[in-house]
């Protein structure tokens, strides 16, 4: 019986361990470019990204991007930006300039949201109509992260009348309402519920193995403006996901449940000469993984929570940023029952306090040259000792007039939270670790150089960017689901520690005015990792590296129709491939090749979307139908590789993909 169990686990492990991961399967890719915002003229149909340190995307412009499955999702929009990896069907991560997903902070009004994407990466936890805009930064100076940030901004004005929107499609229904409560206050409520299996149940399969999935989101915000100088927000979010997966050939059932919760109080005081914004918040993520088999059961709960305070003070050329966070993390607690593997790991809770103060001063502010410097002091208390750090940065830009604009930045970043696990694609059972027992604080020495050139009176823009990052303190999980049922399992021995190096170039040509807008972009980048383990003596590509990536996007507004589409063609991501396998004494023996030595086939996908308006009035009521087609070419992109048991007790090793090759949808929307 025990041998049969080992064979079953060996066959099934890649499905859990790697929907992409580690030494069983792939993980997705990335390199990144910055974005800037072009002022939206009446005939501009889509916000256009470019080179720069940040951009703000208003919700009404975000809704003009391709609405796949009836949803114009903010995070999916970011993945469409040139230089940002588009991602595969299982990669819900945001990778910026070759960094890991956990290096980027995703937040609501500055409050971090852990696990901000639902499964498949088609939906984030953000209902776009609940927010006023989205801020995207390639270099986040406020938060203690090595990469950039995506921050959803709450409305700061009381609506003049009752406003709202509702959309319903084949996958989900969502609605938002904004209600004025007098002249100084307003309430905002947004709800979403999915029912993917109702119509797509027969297609929700990996080969012949089916899964059930559903999720829900709820947002509530309250705005009070006691004076012209003050704004106070109360904001709350809650989300719940349920995944059930069955592998009939191995007799295994997996259930994965996770929830997000966030509550925050914000106050902004703005006199015109200076402004101060303060936030108190609590945010958390809880995860429960349950595996059931004829021979055993396995439970692996984990989670993270943070309570904190943030402050942003601006006066003239000065800016001060303060951040204090109290973290509590449960990396994993493993309970297995059955066979010879019954065990329960001891409860382990990590506690830490994180604090930082950053001072930024713009010491040159001329028509040609602009320069600013940031000095950040950081403190980290891991429960046993206090560690101080200093992280400086320098930003500069030069306006060459009709010859364009050059911008550059360089500095040091540090990060004290890490996310890792059976995959590196930000799936919900990736667990969080605090710097201390298992890992040291991460750091990045970075530099970037960008160039923008406007042509034809700003209708066209050519952009280019070079970037380079040296990473220290990186960790990667090298184990698999098999390790969880070993009596000698220890998290410490399942982690690889080392350094990284990211570098690359991005090119972009965009049309940013007129009814037809869009861009074409190309990125060339490397994301390399080396480890201090003698079993990994070389430098390896990261699991999300795509050396080449081509992106194109368009939007065409005819007033009666809004047509949009996106296209990506990218190098396949690396994974550790099986070189040989054989059966000995009823046990399957596999020999793996070099770490991340294999690559998937190139990833290609075309998405199309069309909005038809029955009624449309700028700034007023509008309603219509949304038609979308995900993966319009029907290409079967690789999801992961897996050992398969064929007829006659023969084994094969081949790529796996979704049963569905393209995903059509139709939905109705109404905005008032």
Closest CA to 375 of 359, 395, 356: 359
The pLDDT assigned to 397 comes to: 95
Q: How far, in Å, are 107, 342, 411, 471 from residue 502 at the CA level?
A: 24, 43, 15, 8
**In total, how many domains does the chain have?**
1
456's CB contacts (< 8 A; 6+ apart) are none
Predicted local distance difference test score (pLDDT) of residue 579: 81
C-alpha closest to that of 94 among 35, 31, 173, 38: 31
Output the pLDDT for position 253.
82
**Residue 152: which CATH number?**
2.40.170.20
Facing residues of 595 across strands? none
Nearest in space to 565 (alpha carbons), one of 514, 617, 632: 632
C-alpha closest to that of 112 among 297, 317, 326, 380? 326
Start-end of H helices in 354-491: none
3-state SS track over 270-302: ECCCEEEEEEEEEEEEEEEEEEEECCCEEEEEE
Query: What span, in angstroms and rounded, lies between the C-alpha atoms of 637 and 23?
Result: 20
Backbone torsions φ then ψ of 441, nearest 5 degrees: -55, 140
d(C-alpha 348, C-alpha 350), whole Å: 7
649: left (phi over 0), alpha (psi -120 to 50) or beta: left
Range of the domain at 266: 2-671
Q: What is the pLDDT of residue 590?
A: 79
Q: Give the closest residue to 480 by CA, choosing from 337, 330, 642.
A: 642
Query: Splitting the chain (672 residues) into consecutive groups of 10 residues, what average pLDDT does each group show?
Result: 35 36 32 30 42 61 75 81 68 80 92 85 86 85 86 93 91 93 96 81 62 89 96 96 75 84 97 96 93 81 95 96 96 75 77 96 94 96 93 95 94 93 63 91 94 90 93 87 74 90 91 86 93 92 90 88 91 85 73 86 91 84 91 84 68 70 86 90
| Complete DSSP assignment for 103-114 | GSEEEETTEE-S
CA 275 from chain centre, in angstroms, equals: 30
Classify residue 238 by burial, with Cβ atoms within 10 Å: 0-12, 13-18, 19+: middle
Note the pTM of the prediction, 2 decimals.
Answer: 0.86
């Amino acid at each position: 019986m025990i041998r049969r169990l080992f064979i079953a686990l060996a066959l099934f492990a890649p499905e859990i361990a790697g929907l992409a991961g580690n030494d069983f399967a792939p993980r997705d890719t990335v390199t990144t470019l910055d974005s800037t915002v072009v002022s939206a003229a009446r005939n501009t149909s889509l916000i256009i990204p470019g080179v720069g340190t940040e951009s703000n995307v208003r919700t009404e412009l975000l809704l003009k991007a391709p609405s796949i499955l009836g949803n114009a999702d903010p995070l999916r929009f970011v993945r469409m930006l040139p230089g940002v990896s588009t991602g595969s069907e299982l990669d819900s991560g945001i990778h910026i300039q070759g960094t890991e997903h956990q290096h980027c902070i995703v937040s609501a009004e500055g409050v971090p949201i852990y696990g901000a994407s639902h499964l498949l990466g088609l939906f984030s936890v953000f209902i776009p109509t609940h927010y006023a805009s989205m801020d995207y930064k390639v270099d986040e100076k406020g938060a203690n992260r090595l990469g950039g940030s995506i921050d959803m901004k709450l409305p700061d004005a009381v609506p003049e009348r009752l406003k709202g929107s509702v959309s319903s499609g084949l996958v989900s229904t969502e609605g938002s309402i904004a209600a004025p409560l007098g002249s100084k206050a307003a309430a905002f409520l947004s709800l979403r519920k999915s029912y993917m299996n109702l119509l797509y149940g027969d297609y929700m399969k990996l080969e012949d193995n089916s899964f059930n999935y559903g999720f829900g989101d709820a947002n509530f915000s309250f705005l009070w403006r006691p004076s012209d100088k003050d704004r106070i927000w109360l904001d709350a979010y809650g989300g719940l996901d349920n995944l059930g997966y069955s592998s009939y050939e191995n007799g295994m059932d997996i259930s994965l449940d996770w929830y997000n919760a966030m509550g925050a109080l914000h106050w902004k005081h703005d006199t015109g000469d200076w402004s101060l914004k303060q936030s108190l918040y609590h945010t958390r993520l809880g995860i429960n993984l349950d595996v059931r088999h004829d021979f055993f059961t396995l439970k692996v709960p984990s989670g993270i929570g943070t309570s904190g305070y943030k402050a942003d003070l601006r006066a003239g050329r000065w800016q001060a940023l303060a951040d204090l966070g109290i973290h509590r993390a449960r990396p994993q607690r493993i309970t297995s029952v059955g066979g010879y593997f019954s065990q329960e790991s001891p409860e382990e809770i990590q506690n830490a306090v994180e604090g930082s103060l950053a001072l930024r001063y713009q010491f040159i502010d001329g028509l040609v040259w602009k320069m600013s410097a940031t000095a950040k002091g950081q403190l980290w208390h891991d429960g046993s000792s206090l560690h101080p750090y200093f992280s400086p940065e320098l930003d500069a830009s030069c306006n060459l007039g009709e010859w364009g604009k050059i911008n550059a930045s360089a500095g040091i970043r540090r990060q004290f939270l890490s996310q890792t696990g059976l995959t590196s694609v930000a799936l919900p059972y990736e667990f969080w670790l605090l710097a201390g027992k298992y890992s040291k604080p991460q750091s990045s020495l970075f530099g970037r150089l960008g160039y923008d050139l406007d042509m034809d009176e700003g209708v066209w823009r050519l952009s280019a960017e070079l970037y380079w990052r040296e990473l220290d303190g990186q960790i990667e999980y090298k184990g698999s689901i098999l390790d969880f049922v070993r009596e000698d399992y220890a998290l410490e021995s399942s982690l690889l520690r080392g350094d990284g190096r990211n570098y690359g170039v991005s090119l972009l040509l965009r049309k940013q005015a007129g009814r037809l807008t869009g861009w074409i972009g190309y990125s060339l980048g490397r994301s390399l990792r080396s480890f201090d383990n003698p079993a990994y003596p070389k430098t390896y590509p990261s699991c999300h590296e795509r050396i080449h990536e081509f992106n194109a996007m368009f939007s065409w507004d005819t007033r009666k129709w809004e047509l949009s589409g996106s296209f990506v063609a990218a190098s396949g991501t690396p994974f550790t491939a099986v070189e040989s396998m054989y059966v000995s004494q009823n046990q399957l023996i596999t020999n793996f090749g070099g770490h991340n030595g294999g690559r998937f086939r190139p990833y290609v996908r075309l998405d199309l979307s069309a909005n038809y308006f029955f009624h449309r009035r700028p700034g007023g009521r509008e309603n219509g139908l949304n038609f979308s087609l995900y993966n319009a070419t029907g290409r079967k992109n690789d999801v992961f590789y897996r050992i398969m048991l064929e007829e006659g007790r023969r084994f094969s090793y081949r790529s796996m993909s979704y049963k569905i090759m393209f995903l059509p949808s139709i939905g109705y929307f109404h905005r008032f």
